[in-house]
Amino acid sequence: MNHFVFHPASSRGSANHGWLQSYHTFSFAQYHNPDRMHFGVLRVLNDDTVDMGMGFGTHPHDNMEIVSIPLEGDLEHRDSMGNVTIIRKGDIQVMSAGTGITHSEYNHNKNLPVKFLQIWIFPDKRNGTPRYDQKSLNPADRNNKLQFILTPQPSESAVWIRQNVWFSLGLLHSNSSHTYTVQLPDNGVYIFLLSGKIVVNGHELNTRDGLGLWNLTNPIKIESIINSEVLIMDVPMHLN
């Protein structure tokens, strides 16, 4: 029997720091909900807006796969591995913190906010060598279909991650139907709707709603009611 958990956008934790507005699907910082600690190896799903010229100063991480997906604007990244880069809408970035790194993230623009998703994944092994990967993706490859943007193996068309995780983005047309098949039998799928309105296996999702499904025996059916942008995260349900 399929299992599911539904997280309406309005149920997320939130923090307003003036320069930063953040919404937390799972427990993070001052938001603690014992029922919202993680979904399998998906530990953090933060929906962040950073004011002009502001950002996160240099801070440490270890033993976490950190994925950033810009939604609007330009995000400036610097880290202790020597990477200095700008990530923009259409890009995806992954950083394996491994034994430990420090990094900073700032809004590169002085006149526009930057909006991005910050996602943390537990790695398949602890204390790996830190690494960085970033790619610019072709939005046409997700026009009314699902485009893999992150995979467990190196790829020309996706960043790769140290975990059996697959991320897909889709720009789904109004009144269209799609299916998604979980990549590994023991994986679950967390669907986060960036915009629009969809129905997933009979569950209605509106903008910024999240739905987790596991113990899947059949492909997931996705019906797009209006033009919608969806992120699908296919993740192991058991922590190592």
Q: What is the pLDDT along the chain (240 residues), one digit of tens a residue?
A: 569 999 999 999 999 999 999 999 999 999 999 999 999 999 999 999 999 989 898 999 999 999 999 999 999 999 999 999 999 999 999 999 999 999 999 899 989 999 999 999 999 999 999 999 999 999 999 999 999 999 998 888 899 999 999 999 999 999 999 999 999 999 999 999 999 999 999 999 999 999 999 999 999 999 999 999 999 999 999 987
Structure tokens at 10: 């309005």
Q: Yes or no: say if 227 and 177 are a contact pair by the CB < 8 Å rule.
A: no
pLDDT in tens, 151-182: 998 888 899 999 999 999 999 999 999 999 99
Domain with CATH 2.60.120.10 in the chain: 13-136, 139-236
Cβ neighbourhood burial of 237 (10 Å; 0-12, 13-18, 19+): middle
pLDDT of residue 156: 84
pLDDT of residue 125: 94
CA 116-160-153 angle, 5° bins? 155
Kindly state the helix (H) or strand (E) to which residue 205 belongs, with its residue range. strand 203-206
pLDDT of residue 211: 98
Second-level CATH architecture of 139-236? Sandwich (2.60)
CA distance 201 to 190: 13
pLDDT of residue 2: 65
What dotted CATH number matches 13-136? 2.60.120.10
pLDDT of residue 238: 92
- Give 164's DSSP letter: S
pLDDT of residue 13: 97
Cβ neighbourhood burial of 238 (10 Å; 0-12, 13-18, 19+): exposed
pLDDT of residue 240: 72
> Structure pTM?
0.96
